[in-house]
């Protein structure tokens, strides 16, 4: 099923100039961009995004980190995009992230693990609405037309 997922390239990824390489991985996989922007995150947005972790010991540090410098928010679309993106991102703790995943290749610390990705259909819908209140762009690609209507 075609899905959309929210991806955040966290401040460490922007500071380390890894934005293009991370986006390229998703494009290489065949996922289509339907939203993309550089965001200076407010405390309110950060606390809303990570509300599920409000009681965790690392919450204050996580909010401080995510608001410390701009991040890149992207919305990607494709078949089973939510699970595909999560598998490409890798485990939360870089010590457990498999080589070949984004975290497994590019991150080493859990507090600076480079990337966020929605973990299910409900969180994806809520996170896309939170980060892209202006909505996403739907548009056809030539490859979609070729696959869906060869010769047509």
Where along the sequence are the contacts to ligand IDP (CB under 6 A)? 53, 58, 62, 92, 110-111, 113, 116, 119
Min separation Cβ 78 and ligand IDP, Å: 19
Of 31 and 85, which has the nearer Cβ to ligand IDP? Answer: 85
Read off the tokens for 12.
């460490």
What are phi and psi for residue 77, nearest 5 degrees? -130, 140
Of 109 and 144, which has the nearer Cβ to ligand IDP? Answer: 109
Whether 116 is a known active-site residue: answer yes
From the candidates 13, 116, 127, 131, which is the catalytic residue? 116
Note whether 17 and 43 are within 8 A (CB).
no
Of 69 and 144, which has the nearer Cβ to ligand IDP? Answer: 69
Min separation Cβ 148 and ligand IDP, Å: 33
Q: How many residues does the chain have?
A: 152
**Residues 6+ away with beta carbon under 8 Å from 80:** 1, 3
Which residue(s) pair with 33 in the sheet?
A: 76
Catalytic positions, written as ranges: 116
């Amino acid at each position: 099923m075609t899905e959309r997922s929210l991806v955040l390239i966290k401040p460490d990824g922007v500071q380390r100039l890894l934005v293009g390489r991370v986006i390229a991985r998703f494009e290489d996989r065949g996922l289509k961009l339907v939203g993309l922007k550089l965001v200076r995150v407010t405390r309110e947005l950060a606390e809303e995004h990570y509300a599920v972790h409000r009681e965790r010991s690392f919450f204050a540090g996580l909010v401080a980190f995510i608001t410390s410098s701009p991040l890149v928010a992207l919305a990607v679309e494709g078949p089973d995009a939510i699970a595909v993106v999560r598998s490409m991102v890798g485990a939360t703790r870089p010590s457990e992230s498999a080589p070949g995943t984004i975290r497994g290749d590019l991150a080493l610390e859990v507090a600076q693990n480079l990337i966020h990705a929605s973990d299910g259909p409900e969180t994806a819908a809520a996170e896309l609405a939170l980060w892209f209140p202006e909505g996403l762009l739907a548009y056809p690609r030539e490859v979609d037309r070729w696959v869906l209507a060869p010769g047509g």
